[in-house]
Structure 1
Amino acid sequence: MPSKKGKRKGGSASSNQSQNSVNSRPISSVSGVSVNRMSMYGEQYGQQYGRPFFDLILKYLLVGDSEVGKSSLVLRFGDDHFRENFVSTIGIDFKIKTVELQGKKIKLQIWDTAGQERFHTITTSYYRGAMGIMLVYDITQEKTFDNIAKWLRNIQEHANEDVEKMLLGNKCDMEDKRMISKERGENIARENGIKFLETSAKANVNVEKAFMTLAEDILKKYPQQKDPASGTGGNIKPTGDDGSGSRKCC
């Protein structure tokens, strides 16, 4: 009899150790892996697995050419930190940050995609689960601005039809090297019916405003469903999503 108790206790410790391992990883990297679309889920998921309470989860995707500063924007918003020599992302990274908005705790799951052409086969698998997409260009590099049209076509082809979009002209602190005027950014945003901001991860200009404004716009667009029996928060589900919240990678 004592041996059975000992065995059961050991199994519990192993389970706790495994769960702690999952919760201690704020950032995951994925390269060459197919991942299911991730839906939004509410408080019940957090309660079941002992994770911090949240009402909603919103999936963001950042797209744009390599070295426009996507990873730096994510790092600035997530950790309020900037690295001068940031290594270009290989594959996909994601970071999670919980914010409070409109009286709700919202978990933002921010996916940072590689901009190099050879990695586009990886990034396209993430489009359909995204509720908000940030298109990022570098105001000092003309080509990155010209390629916004290509990124918009990719979104139109692969993302949900009603995904919320925002255009970001990054590195606005480098005014002496500017090649794309603010007016040009505003014009292309207006033509495509999306919001526009100029940002700087280095100088921390408009970074938080961009992420929070996108969250506000998503909440306005999607209806929230409440489960009065469980007392959980709202579940926002993108069009065509099965709402299962399943995934194949960590």
Structure 2
Amino acid sequence: MAEYSSLNSLSVPMREMYKMRTLPEYKVCILGNSNVGKSMILRCLHTGGGSVTSENLYSTIGMDLIKHEVRGTSYHMRLQIWDTGGHERFRSITGNYLRNSHAVLVVYDITNIQSFEAIPLWIELAKASVSNDTLFMLVGNKLDLFEERVITQFDANSFALKNRMEYFECSASKGLNILFLFNQIAKDISHNFKDNESAILEISEQTRDSVLLSDSDFQVPATRKCIGYSA
């Protein structure tokens, strides 16, 4: 009979290696026009939900990736979160990276009507590459600029309902609602793919270049609450 060693009896490096081998891993892709804040969302999550300034923000050229561990009362998983380039010339590349995605976040800027009008095109691009089980979420970013918003919550929520998407609003620059968003994604994935909890993704490393953005720092009233909708 083989000897059994509890996880607690292992050294810290061994425990981490064991966890890396056994934790289910799911792929999440972030889509949307350039400058809607996709990279900022990723970096905000990477810093633990804190604010992100222009000094540590880069515009994605091609793809970027982080891994984020999420634990809930009924799930424990790792998310592979891919930030896809929003430039027109990278959309063919984006389609290739969407394959095998468990969830897709379509992000728009609440102060930019063009970014909202482009959402159907991003959804069409994604649906050509993902399975019918893939989850879709609509995310309105830059809530800190709510006084400049041109897309109302009603219009965005109506679009989400019509397209069977969940709807959230957040501010990546201020860290509002980011952790909640990805916790909800993990919860939804755990329900949607509960019969495939051992899913492990193998994605080769990709070469990614970045250029600095010139985004200014944003101000948001301290009393403003971030909201999330479930459509």
Shorter-chain TM range is 0.7 to 0.9
SS at structure 1 position matched to 2:95: helix
Tell me what 2:198 maps to: 235
| Structure 2 stretches lacking a partner, 5+ long | 1-12, 207-231
Question: Contact between 1:55 and 1:104, CA under 8 Å: does it hold in 2?
Answer: no
Q: Which deviates further from its counterpart, 49-58 or 116-125? A: 49-58
Tell me what 1:186 maps to: 157
User: Residues 30-69 of structure 1: matches in 2 within 5 Å?
Assistant: 50=17, 52-53=19-20, 54-69=22-37
SS at structure 2 position matched to 1:65: coil
User: Is structure 2 residue 91 aligned with structure 1 residue 112?
Assistant: no
Question: Contact between 2:70 and 2:186, CA under 8 Å: does it hold in 1?
Answer: no
What is the Cα deviation at residue 195 of structure 1?
0.4
Aligned residues: 190
Question: Contact between 2:75 and 2:187, CA under 8 Å: does it hold in 1?
Answer: no
Structure showing greater Rg:
1
Tell me what 1:36 maps to: none
| Residues 53-75 of structure 1 deviation map (CA, whole Å, 9 limit, x = unaligned) | 45211111000000100111111
Amino acid at match of 1:249: E
TM-score, normalised to structure 1, is 0.70
Q: Provide the rounded CA distance (Å) in 1 between the counterparts of 2:134 and 2:104.
A: 7
| Residues 8-43 of structure 1 deviation map (CA, whole Å, 9 limit, x = unaligned) | xxxxxxxxxxxxxxxxxxxxxxxxxxxxxxxxxxxx
| Residues 85-118 of structure 1 deviation map (CA, whole Å, 9 limit, x = unaligned) | 5231101000011121235431111100000010
What is the Cα deviation at residue 129 of structure 1?
1.3
Q: Provide the rounded CA distance (Å) in 1 between the counterparts of 2:45 and 2:204.
A: 26
Tell me how large the CA RMSD over aligned residues is. Answer: 2.2
Tell me what 1:249 maps to: 205
| Structure 1 stretches lacking a partner, 5+ long | 1-45, 226-233, 237-242
Tell me what 2:73 maps to: 102
User: Is structure 2 residue 184 aligned with structure 1 residue 213?
Assistant: yes
TM-score, normalised to structure 2, is 0.75
Amino acid at match of 2:198: N
Amino acid at match of 1:136: V
Amino acid at match of 1:84: S
What is the Cα deviation at residue 247 of structure 1?
3.7
Q: Provide the rounded CA distance (Å) in 2 between the counterparts of 1:211 and 1:112.
A: 14
User: Is structure 2 residue 43 aligned with structure 1 residue 75?
Assistant: yes
Question: Contact between 2:75 and 2:190, CA under 8 Å: does it hold in 1?
Answer: no
Question: Contact between 1:62 and 1:136, CA under 8 Å: does it hold in 2?
Answer: yes
Tell me what 2:114 maps to: 143
Tell me what 2:219 maps to: none
What is the Cα deviation at residue 125 of structure 1?
0.7
SS at structure 1 position matched to 2:139: strand
What is the Cα deviation at residue 249 of structure 1?
2.7
Q: Provide the rounded CA distance (Å) in 2 between the counterparts of 1:247 and 1:206.
A: 28
Identity %: 29
| Residues 132-175 of structure 1 deviation map (CA, whole Å, 9 limit, x = unaligned) | 11000000100000000111111221111110111000001102
Tell me what 2:105 maps to: 134
Tell me what 1:25 maps to: none
Q: Provide the rounded CA distance (Å) in 2 between the counterparts of 1:91 and 1:105.
A: 29
2:59 alignment partner, one of 83, 88, 91:
88
